Amino acid sequence: MKQREKTVSILDRLSWSVQPPKGLIKGCYYREEARFSSCFNGDLGHLGVLEVVVDDGRIVMVEFNEQCSPTYYMRHFQNVDKRLSDYSFFQASKERTAVTGVVLVNGITSVEKQMVAANRLTGDFDLVAGASNSIKRSMLPLAEKIAARMSVPSPARYYGLSKELEPGVTGRLQIVTEAGKIVWLFYDEIFADTQEEISDPELKQYYRQSKYHCPDYISTSGAGFNNLSDLITVSVLKHQNLLGLIDLPYTEEDNRAPEWDRYLSLARPLQEEMVKDGVWKPADYLPVLDSTVLSVHVMTANDGRPLHLLELEYPDFTYKPGQFVMIQNQGDGFHWSYPYMIYEGTDRGLKVIAAKNSSLFPLATGAGTAIWGANGIGCTPGTNAVFVAEPATIHLLAPLIHFCASPTLILIGSESAVPKELLPSVTHFVSDGSQALKHLTDGPDAVYMALNVPVLESIMNCADDSLKERTTVFASTRIGCGIGACKSCYLHSPDIQMGIPVCCNGPYLPFNMIDFEKDRKCFQTFK
């Protein structure tokens, strides 16, 4: 059993700093994270995160953070950041710290400075005795992983800015962009290392901590500082707008959270820098629209399986084939929003197909919805494209078939299971993937597939390289927001560091882009 350690008072003998690097830092961004030091079966262990920024061949920032295990023996510190919370003060009250004279942050910052000065992540470093366990078990192994990748410039770009907001309080805004989008953002305010530097008497107690990570920090706004910080992250990732404070609370003139203007004082110069460098520019804001169901057309297969073609109100709607919209049923009770492929545009809005198990299926003319989009990249099938679907997935492929001038459909299933309105004049009915493959071996035409993973693999495991190269598949991950913010739809990628946001890069993706071994469980099953 763990022995309770005696409490001592040695704070006056210790010194550590939690201050971020001042000014602007930018460059190629590398990140690795991993759990370590699991104590028992089922214990996730602590989470180590290492971030490195390289500019023009020089390491300009190394930062290691550690989050306590969710099963940590003190509930107060479960899932808490060790660097910017009161964890170091807790360490300063322990007998073992009285012996070593250092806390974890001392060891971390020492190695960080050495790595930057030596311009390397591997090799020998002087470790602070008594504050090196996390460094040996997590920081250095993560550094080796990043070092192995640094021969190739990262596609992710880091922009960080820190400045004093008031005496003793430093604001810090960090942004990562990739492929023209902001993919990560974090805003925090860090207190000075000594109480004497902090002018506000009420804030002196929080020295050597940050507002986001201090468990005891009391916000003067209507929500916790950590919640406000998380909300600005969600807003920016969703709308790709740094300065609009879109969908955020406490923005009214008579009830405005002071955090917003402090954040904006950092966001404005960072936006100018990113636009100047050409890595990102603000997107036009596309609001969530309150919409109405204008009409419902019932399409019924011979076996009785129904699909509903709904027309939704959306003035001046524009889209590309293969894009989708997020729609929320605004009826009684709460309903999640779900993605729906755009079947076609109309002079009053757009049409989508709702399957029987979808949230839109029960809606009648006049029902209310909330809608945003169009989302995704979209794709334009060639004149003679070939499409492969099952009855359960035909609604996903129907918009592309509808757009194609001379489509050929290979349906793996019975003719009686699909409404005739959705079957092109050239349709081949087959019983399984091996039969479908016989229709796909010849010709240069592009192939589009919307299939459940086992059926897809029954075809592609036997396909030649040519077929794999010209095949695009519907990536049926769970899209939660439609704009890359929630990350529920992300897939692994060897090329995109943060992963593939299906809702932004898809939903139709090249077959060869998807790693089915890693991401098999991410795909939904359609019945």
Concatenated DSSP letters of 128-185: PTTS-HHIIIIIHHHHHHHHHHTTS--S-EEEEEEEEEETTEEEEEEEEEETTEEEEE
Contact 82, 64 (CB under 8 A): no
pLDDT at 1: 45
Digit-coded pLDDT (tens) for 11-50: 877 889 999 999 999 999 999 999 998 888 888 999 999 9
pLDDT at 95 over 70: yes
**What's the pLDDT score for residue 89?**
92
**Interacting residues of 430 by C-beta distance below 8 A, sequence separation 6+:** 410, 411, 412, 436, 438, 439
Mean pLDDT of the chain: 92
Q: What is the mean pLDDT of residues 419-435?
A: 96
**DSSP conformation letters of 464-522:** -HHHHHTEEEE-----SSSSSSS-TTEE--SS-TT-EEHHHH-SEEEGGG--HHHHGGG
CA atoms within 13 A on the CB side of 474: 30
CATH top-level class for 289-375?
Answer: mainly beta
Coil/strand/helix, residue 379: coil
Question: pLDDT category, 195, cuts 50, 70, 90?
Answer: very high
Listed in order, strand segments (DSSP E) in 402-482 are 408-412, 426-430, 447-450, 471-474
**Share above pLDDT 70 across residues of the chain, in percent, rounded to a whole number:** 96
Q: Which two tokens stand for residue 453?
A: 């993973």
Q: pLDDT category, 500, cuts 50, 70, 90? A: confident
pLDDT value for 385: 94
pLDDT at 334 over 70: yes
Instruction: Tell me which of 442 and 301 has the higher pLDDT.
Output: 301
pLDDT of residue 286: 59
Instruction: Flag whether pLDDT at 190 surpasses 80.
Output: yes
CA distance 437 to 499: 30
Q: Which residue type is seen at 413?
A: G
**Residue 498 in this model has a pLDDT that exceeds 70:** no
d(CA 489, CA 506) in angstroms, rounded, equals: 10
User: What pLDDT is attached to residue 3?
Assistant: 53
Amino acid, res. 314:
Y
Hey, which CATH number is domain 157-283, 3.90.1010.20, 2.60.120.260, 3.40.605.10, 3.40.50.1820? 3.90.1010.20
Instruction: Band the pLDDT of 119: cuts 50, 70, 90.
Output: very high
Contact (CB, 8 A) for 491 and 514: yes
Place of tokens 């070939």: 386
Residue 484 has pLDDT above 50, yes or no: yes
Question: Which tokens in the block code for residue 275?
Answer: 């636009």
The whole-number pLDDT of residue 485 equals: 65
Looking at per-residue pLDDT, the higher value among 461 and 442 belongs to 461
pLDDT at 187 over 80: yes
> Which class is 1-14+25-154 in CATH?
alpha beta
Alpha-carbon distance 440 to 450, whole Å?
Answer: 15
Is residue 227 predicted with pLDDT exceeding 80? yes
Per-position b or e across 316-325, b if 16+ CB within 10 A of its CB:
ebebebbbbb
Which pLDDT value is given to residue 251? 84
pLDDT for the residue 200: 96
- For 34, counting Cβ atoms within 10 Å of its Cβ (0-12 exposed, 13-18 middle, 19+ buried), the class is middle
Q: What pLDDT score does 8 carry?
A: 56
**Structure confidence by residue, pLDDT tens digits, 360-417:** 999 999 999 999 989 888 888 888 899 999 999 999 999 999 999 999 999 999 999 9
Measured between alpha carbons, how far is 306 from 64 in angstroms, rounded to an integer? 55
Annotate 149-159 with b (16+ C-beta within 10 A) or e (fewer).
ebeeebebbbb
Q: pLDDT of 264-317, one tens digit each?
A: 999 999 999 999 999 998 876 556 899 999 999 999 999 999 999 999 999 999
Structure token pair of residue 362 = 């029960």
Q: How many residues does the chain have?
A: 527
Q: Token pair for residue 462? A: 């036997």
Q: How confident is the model at residue 130 (pLDDT cuts 50, 70, 90)?
A: confident
Angle at 225 between CA 244 and CA 93, to 5 degrees: 150
- Residue 487 binned pLDDT confidence (cut-offs 50, 70, 90): confident
% of the chain at pLDDT higher than 90? 74
Residue 499 is predicted with a pLDDT of: 77
Task: Please give the Cα distance from 150 to 115 (Å, whole number).
Answer: 14
Q: What is the rounded average pLDDT of the residues 1-16?
A: 66
